[in-house]
Amino acid sequence: MQTSMIRRMRDRPLYLILPVAALALAAWAFWPRALPVEVTQATRAALDVGFSEEGRTRLRTRFQVTAPVDGFLQRIRLEPGDSVAAGEPVATLLPVSARLLDPAAQSAAETRLRVADKALLAAEAMLASARAQNIQRQAALSRAESLLRNKMIAMAERDQARAEASASAASEQSAMAHVEEARAVRDGAQAELRLQGSRAITPNSKPLVVRAPAAGRIVQRHVESEGPIAAGQPLLDIGNPADLEVVVEILSADAIRIAPGTLVQLAGWGGGTILPGRVRKVEPGAFTKVSALGVEEQRVRAIVTLDAPPANRAGLGDGYRVEAWFRVWHSDAVLQVPIAALFRDGERWAVYEVDDKHARLRAVELGRFGEHAAEVRGGLSEGATVVLYPGDAVRDGIAVKTSKPLRR
């Protein structure tokens, strides 16, 4: 019987077998296949929100040494990087007698001395105010530390008190430096007036020694060789390279989002590490700056204090470029998805959630956007699997084959 069945199949015409095989092959070729996609999960984790801008380092306090009178400057032997002590001779010049006998120069010297005296008094008043504020802030910090130990305030309030205390201490140091600078200017004006009032000075008179107004290192030398020099002409810049701050010109809309104490991360300075810092001051006035694209922008200067010790930022000097990232919001635990999973669906944000090996379109309600992830306030639950980088091939209801995301 089996033999006869085989014989009948042999006798069946090929024109009946071939169409059936073709249909089966076509069905196999056009049968829907699962689309391979990369997926990740909606997780609850820390989220930081902020913005980045380019900044420049600068000395917190820079003392500029100028020529007190007209004269002939002898060559300055100090080089940039050399250390000097307060009161140490840094330059020598021979006063010019003809100018010294000029009545107009005498009157101008007296005016400069009066202005210098007033500037010194103003600087001393600012120092007294800064010192009183610092004492108050340090006492407030001590109270906050005590209250935190007794669990009567939140840690954020203690951190705010610490930031204010740090800022007030820096303000007092800056005010002290301004007093030293104003005193040096006043002393130079007094020396100039003494020379203007003396009619016994000749080209062979005793050289005038210019001294450093404060201890530090030579940052810049403005005059490279000896020669005639005018009163008030810059000779040297002196400062402490370890005492740096960062100036960042930010958009005025971003300036509203930060305040003294805002945390800052500084990168791209060449050291390979991220330096911590805090906003010390946001200047109240904005200015217009033209961007690289030719667009006029309103910018505000934010002054950032470096929290990293000098040993951790060795090599960082005055005028160096840095990338400053300002943290304007932080949460330790917030439901979030990668921005790479989001797309616009009409007027709403959406993702593709993988459910039973199929992609399902889900509208989501979003909150704050971080650098790589966004806060999810509705539409997804924790642990939901979503498609990364959804392209045009991904549609609602399509079968998908999932894989872990690649490193990018």
Whether 357 contacts 399, CB under 8 Å = yes
Specify the DSSP class assigned to residue 189: H
pLDDT at site 251: 96
pLDDT at site 201: 44
Show the tokens assigned to 120: 């010194």
Assigned domain for 177 exists: yes
Q: Domain boundary at 170, 197, 224, which? A: 197
pLDDT at site 46: 95
Show the tokens assigned to 62: 């820079």
What residue has token string 């470029």? Answer: 321
What 3-state DSSP class applies to 345?
strand
For the chain, which ranges sit under pLDDT 70? 1-32, 97-103, 105-106, 194-205, 404-408
pLDDT at site 170: 80
pLDDT at site 44: 96
pLDDT at site 200: 41
Domain span holding position 77: 62-97+204-239
pLDDT at site 396: 93
Whether 325 contacts 333, CB under 8 Å = no
Q: Positive or negative CA dihedral for 38, 44, 50, 53?
A: negative
Question: Which residues fall within 8 angstroms of residue 50, CB to CB, at 6 or more apart?
Answer: 325, 326, 327, 328, 329, 371
CA-closest candidate to residue 307, choices 276, 280, 279, 282: 276
Same domain, 111 and 166: yes
pLDDT, tens digit (0-9, with 9 covering 90-100), for 272-282: 899 999 999 99
- CATH number for position 80: 2.40.50.100
pLDDT at site 76: 93
- CATH number for position 344: 2.40.420.20
Assigned domain for 397 exists: yes
Same domain, 114 and 188: yes
pLDDT, tens digit (0-9, with 9 covering 90-100), for 137-191: 888 888 888 888 888 888 888 888 888 888 888 888 888 888 888 888 888 777 7
Strand (E) positions, 132-262?
208-211, 216-221, 227-229, 234-239, 244-251
Same domain, 164 and 234: no
Number of compact structural domains in the chain: 3
Distance CA 160, CA 2 (A): 94
Phi, psi of 231 (to 5 degrees): -60, 135
Same domain, 211 and 228: yes
